[in-house]
Structure formats: C-alpha cells, structure tokens
Structure 1
Amino acid sequence: MAYQPPTHSVERSLRATTGAKIVVGVDEVGRGAWAGPVTVCAAVTGLRRPPTGLTDSKLLSPKRRTELAHELESWVTAHALGHSSPEEIDDLGMTAALRLAATRALEGLPVRPDAVILDGKHDYLGAPWRVRTVIKGDQSCVAVAAASVIAKVRRDALMAELGGAHADFRFGDNAGYPSPVHRAALRDQGPTPHHRLSWAYLDGLPRWRHLKRVRTTPEPSELGVDGQLGFDF
C-alpha cells in the first residue's frame, strides 16, 4: 500500500466543532515492555506542513526514526514527555500509570491544550481533558505521529542508558521488551531494578517467581498483551 502521510484533518475538525485553538497529539511507548517506564509524549504542531516521511514510529527504521525525532523536536511548536516508573506501574496498574504519565506530559507543556488527540480507541485520560480518540492516530494525525516518534526515540535512549549496568539484558537493543536475550538473562539473573514485578512473565521463572508483586484488583488490560505475554524457554 502506498504511503499516506498524516494530515491535520482531526485537528481542523476539533478547531471547527469545539473552538479549540491549541490541539495536542499524545502517544505512548513501552506499554508492552517487561522493563523500564511507560513513556508518553504530548506534541503541539499547529497546522504547518510536517517533515517528509512522518508516520507511526513503528513503521520507520531506527536510523530514520532517530533522524526524524531530532528534526521534529525543533519543528514542533511545543512538546513534553512524561514517564511512569516500573514501581508506579506495579502499584497503580497500566491504565492509571498511563494516565499519570500522560498528565505529566500535558502539564509539562508551556501551553494548556484545549483538546487532546489520543492514539487508540480507549480514553485513558478522561476529565478534565477534552479527548478525541483516533484509532491508528499515529499514522493519520500529524501531532500524534510526531508524539509517537519522539516518545519512541527518547524512551529507547533512556533504556540504553539504564542497560549500562545490566549488559546481559541488552536493553539498548530490545528496549525492555521480551526477546531471546532478555528472556535468557531473566532466567539466569532474575529481574533488575528496572523490571515490572507484577507481570505474568515471573510465573514462568521458578527461581524468581517469589519476587512477584500481586495486586488485589488487576486491570482488564493486564489480562491481555500486557500481563500474559508468557514465557516459553
């Protein structure tokens, strides 16, 4: 399928129907990782023409993604990042941790948004923010695509830095997501201080499963891709 660049159509619609003047795109990265924070970027782009090749970060090569992120950080009108730590994810659950990270990002902007375009179909933000959810917004909306690329590159760099003291886990390559190397290191060494300890991968580690933290009210989202990624050696 031919490349379809993202547009400002949702932003224009929000401006026309709600009177919003400042519209921000929001996207997250790290939801399905076993280690590291969940990171949210909020980006304000206005209605200017975006850099060539902008799209969902997952569709870009690492080299192009990094180049584009640097370009975007000086191109956007404003942007900010928010993180929720592994401990906060364990304590709060993923939905609340996402809300916390997104709130930190939004409150870190130098301007107060009138409306938020949120990637996906679920509004994990809620009041007091005026939210429009857009499925595949990271491909179709300029501001969300920009947030997607910046969030991915910044979190990847953070994970590479955190991995410096845990070389066998290769966080610089897998960004805390499950991979054969990551799984093998977990099996042999157990979780690092950067791992999420409430997740189901620990059930498959007899030597380390005693470290698992159990919440009394698990979220529905954690019963899917987040919590049941499984462990198959």
Structure 2
Amino acid sequence: MARLRSDSLLIPHEPGKPDFASERKLIRSGIEFVAGIDEAGRGPLAGPVVAAAVILNPRKVPDGLDDSKRLTPQRRAELFDIIVDKALACAVASVSAPMIDASDILKAALEAMRRAVCGLAIQPGHALIDGRDVAPGLPCPATALIKGDQRSVSIAAASILAKVTRDRMMAQTGKYFPLYGLETHVGYATEFHRNAMETHGPVVGLHRFSFSPLKERQV
C-alpha cells in the first residue's frame, strides 16, 4: 500500500469542530496509520461498555464528524454508514456488565478500547484516545486527549461508531426484556428504568450490580 503524502492531508477546519490536526502531525512525523478510539456506555445501569477504533482515510474524511453527543440519532446513523464505507479500517468491541462488575468501569472501558484496536484490519502506528487514560496492552503507542471527540475527527468517528453500536445492541436486548424500556433509555438511570428495576428486579447478566442503586441493595 502506498504511503499517504502529507500534502494530501489539508482539510477544511470549522471552528468549534474536531479537525485532522493531531493526525496530520503524526503522519508528517512518519506514522502512516493513526487510529482514533472512543467508548460509549460508562454511565448506564445496564448493558455493556462499547469501544470503537477508526483509521480514517486522510483523502476521504467524512464531512460533519463531531462528538456523538452533539449529533442527533438520525445524523449519527447516517455518519455511521459513511464512516464504515470510507474508513481505511474500523473495529468495535464490548465488555459485558458482569465483566464490569468483576473489575470496574474504567478498567472495563480501557479493555474494550484495547480489544477494538486489536481488532483493526490495519495495525496503527499511533492511537489517539478520548479522555485522560491510555488503555494498557495496546499494540501501538497512544496519546490521550481530553475532550478528544471534540478535537480529533478520528476520535469523533470512533465515538459515533461506539454510540450507534451500543444503542443498537440495547434496542435488540430490549426485545427480550420488554418491561425495562431499554430501547428508549439504552440502560441509563431514567425514572422509568429505576422504577422497572424496583418492580421487576434487576436482570443478571444485563444490569450492573456494582453501580448504585443496585450496589446498595447487595449490602
């Protein structure tokens, strides 16, 4: 595969939006493939934490990439398909609620990130990770960027893949547990969800028993 020329990396930058500056700097230093990594689902009471890794094609960076939280569900779904079509490589991985309970949510999120990077069809020379922590065991050097999904288009792309994938997983799970409304709140601690857990009890394998208020119920 031919190396990507740095003079092909100039893309428009919209103020207040993520750009390709971090990736461009790494590529100009001689690193050919840069992956963006982000996760979705640290806060919910139910379901897995999901991470995604994306290596964008510098010549085909999709328009409109942004922090998934700043996009509508419809726009996230549209960009999901565009990212999968145009990226050089992308991968998604998850860590289940029981595994979260067996360690903690930070370790679980970092493990999901590691799995996502290892699942890429192209091994990156460097990874850009949203947040403060670098996942241990990555197959490449990495840099953590606070609010990275608002700074790097690669991380923004990963945030979209992780969010859309997790939402779809929770909607599918909701078909098997219709009393909990998972397709609506995707596991977050809404009043409806808390009331459903109180009425019907938590589901082993689905709910996070190490999270409040379930943690207090185990004491």
**Structures share fold, TM-score greater than 0.5:** yes
C-alpha separation in 2, matches of 1:52 and 1:98: 28
TM-score by length of 1: 0.82
Distance 2:215 2:92 in 1: 32
Distance 2:20 2:175 in 1: 40
Match of 1:58 among 69, 72, 91: 69
The whole-number CA distance in structure 2 between the counterparts of 1:83 and 1:59 is 23
Instruction: Please identify, of 96-105 and 38-47, the stretch whose mean Cα deviation from structure 2 is larger.
Output: 96-105
Give the whole-Å Cα distance in 1 for the aligned partners of 2:59 and 2:67: 18
- Displacement, 1:48? 2.6
Confirm or deny that 1:183 pairs with 2:190: no
User: What's the offset of the Cα at 1:133?
Assistant: 1.2
1:85 matches 2:96: yes
> Could you tell me which of 83, 86, 94 is aligned with 1:75?
86
Change (3 A) 1:158 1:127: closer
Aligned pair count? 205
Shift of 1:93: 1.4
Once the two structures are overlaid, the 10-residue window that deviates more, 150-159 or 64-73, is: 64-73
Q: Distance in 2 between matches of 1:130 and 1:108?
A: 16
Q: Are residue 156 (structure 1) and residue 167 (structure 2) matched?
A: yes
After superposition, residues 1-233 of structure 1 pair within 5 angstroms as: 4-17=16-29, 19-125=30-136, 128-193=139-204, 194-203=206-215, 209-210=217-218
| Aligned-partner Cα distance in 1 for 2:139–2:81 | 31
1:102–1:125 Cα contact (<8 Å) kept: no
Identity %: 37
> Residues 42 and 105 of structure 1 are in contact (CA less than 8 Å); yes or no, is this contact kept in structure 2?
yes
Mind listing any 5+ residue stretches in structure 1 that lack a counterpart? Answer: 213-233
**Aligned residue identity for 1:108:** G
Asked whether the equivalents of residues 111 and 135 of structure 2 are also in contact (C-alpha less than 8 Å), the reply is no
Question: Equivalents in 2 of 1:128, 1:84: separation in Å?
Answer: 19
Tell me how far 1:199 sits from its aligned partner.
Answer: 1.6
User: Unmatched 5+ residue regions in structure 2?
Assistant: 1-13
Tell me if the contact between 2:46 and 2:207 (Cα under 8 Å) persists in the aligned partners.
yes
Q: Deviations over 1:151-186 (max 9, x none)?
A: 111110000011112112111111111111101101
When the two chains are superposed, the root-mean-square deviation of aligned CA atoms in Å is 1.8
Tell me by how many angstroms 1:51 deviates.
Answer: 2.3
Q: Which amino acid is 1:11 matched to?
A: E
Encode CA deviations 1:109-135: one digit per residue, 9 max, x unaligned.
111111000011222336653111112
